[in-house]
Chains A and B, each alone.
Chain A
Amino acid sequence: MSNFLLAWIVLIPLLSAVSLGLMYLYSIKISKISNIVFTTIGISAPFLSFFIGLSFFLQMIGNDEIFVYKAYTWLGVTGYDIDMGFMADKLSIFMVLFISFVGGLIHIYASGYMRDDKGYGKFFFYFNLFVASMLLLVLADSPIIMFIGWEGVGLCSYFLISYYYEDGANIEAGNKAFIANRVGDFGFIIGLITIFYYAGANGFDYINLEANIASVSPTILTFIGFSLFVGAIGKSAQIPLFVWLPDAMAGPTPVSALIHAATMVTAGVYMVARFHFLYDLIPNVGLFIAYIGAFSALFAAIIATKQTDIKKILAYSTMSQLGYMFIAVGLGGYSVGIFHVFTHAFFKALLFMGAGAVIVALHHEQNIFKMGGMKNKTPLVFFTMLIATLAITGIPPFAGFFSKDEILLTAFSSGQYILWIVGVVTAVLTAYYMFRMMFVVFFGKNYKEDRTIHFIPKSMTMPLVVLAIGSILAGLIGIPEVLGGHNIVGEWFVNWKHDSLHVTHNTELILMGVNILAAFIGIFIAYKKFYMYDMKEVPKFSGLVWNKFYIDEVYDTFIIQKIKQLSVFISYKIDINFIDKIVMGLSRSFIRTGQYVSRMQNANTRFYAFTMLVGISAISTYLIIVIR
């Protein structure tokens, strides 16, 4: 079996990233390299990974084979060997497929979006590095190796948010993302250490952990599950660590599409699904996860209804959809959660890329109330985005309908009616804010009709079409049985616990009806308020929601300012009065001793002779008394 190819899924983008980085350095230092070279290498890497992944996928159909490839021993401490291992089970390979495929499409899109940028090669270096890290994250065979990828994607995210580094605000946004993720990673590391300590005796890969986990006491398991989820909160932008995600929109739009919508932010969901053997044993933590997800979903949807920046609307929408995924995985419906990750990757990437196309067409205008009337100017973008919007609002037969319906079904059938209600309300809000954006951007009356539309290259529109087809078809792999379909996703992940769906077909149909109704209510409100919206002037907003519930301000006052005060206290009080006194006092005492000693070097021969006498007498006395 050609298991070593698993390593190449990660290695190809990594090698490509390294060569792109070197070529970029060569290009800026010595002589210019054409953008075509960067494009070819950068784009081919994720697609090559995709095809390797596909070959493994085809081998897996119809059996439960798990491919493991241990490349070498990464850390060899006696008894605690950690291998650089890759493991492809059904979950990993599923993630690999859509990461590399959607990632590849976004690479193509980026080649159009960034083509006039002077850091073109650098951008693709970061992009490929990101894809490599993300693939390592999903293909790792142990949590430690996964953590390498986990940090790698965080690093690339930081690089790419701060990509336009001339503007200080972008750098702050990058720092914010990085720091918020550090907070989460701290919890993640604590969780890893604990699980290693209690269950890592026979090896630290998932298979051994799964075998050992049952022997750990439930209290410890709860602690581990909670700590690991703190990491997921940071990475997947849930309450309370979500503040970085809206600011992360400072990066170029392809970055938002790839990292902050389709792939990286779903790492938390993947992590929970990957540790399903752990979370199965601690349903209380699972419920906690589901509640965090539900309230993040609702919270983000409420904020999104008032935003004016097109990318921020989509950012909050991403957070909201991630909340849905956490509802599913928290309640044990891992396959449902991953299914939503999958469909979400298509339509959210499409939405971001469409938004990017509109932004480019309007010369980098991001306020939706300054857009308007784009339907006739960019019809292709309009149609593809409409498909994505229908998908996210959950209109059948588009992709989002099936996955969202299954999530709400999971919530309902688990008896968590609060979660279900929150989910349905969020669905109404989702439909409302998405169609608000669509109506304003594409139908709104704009009085500056004469303004020129910037050319949108083919490389930007082509991926839109592919993803639009994906957004229509992606849901078809998970049609529930009640509609005469055949839940391929559920069968693919059949090994996972899935005992919660005890509802009659009639209930299921009614729930579906409720979801569709919710979507249409949202669309209807948006239609009433914003269809043919008259944009004489940009509306001014105020109030609690527009200010995002003052969360940033609250964090600033209660955490950031406190930390600043602490550091001021340390630097001006403790450092000066305590540390400096010790260090400087030490050096002064050396100087003083030296001054005393140097007085002996007074060039007085008689004094020297005297000291010699003293020394010789001392030594002689010693010899006589001690040695005899």
Chain B
Amino acid sequence: MEPDPMHVLIIDDSRAMRSILRRIVTDLGFTAVEAANGQEALDHLEAGLRPELCTIDWNMPVMDGYTFVSRVRSTPEWRDITLMMVTTESEHGQIVKALAAGAHEYVIKPFTPDAIADKFELLGVRAGVVA
């Protein structure tokens, strides 16, 4: 199944952070779907949601972002989903680990809306357009 180019799945245990990201991706023309941890996000994918991109926090209860990335990348039908870590984890080793696991991009909190928009542009992710 091809990704739905209009959906972004926001995965963060903080409702405040999800709210901030939802505003940004909505302004970019996407429909936001939210999950409070990696397991909730997997539940969305298993239910058939195919977002164009997932924003993923690292430190979350139940299932962390690194485990989520690893799970998505080990599932062939989800291989087209773009994965972007959005996290406070800024150690070089952590960034390398996430990218090696299959994340495409990495944004460190705090960020500005422009920083998120720039990353979407860099990844070729636009509402209604699959690069």
Are A and B part of the same complex? no
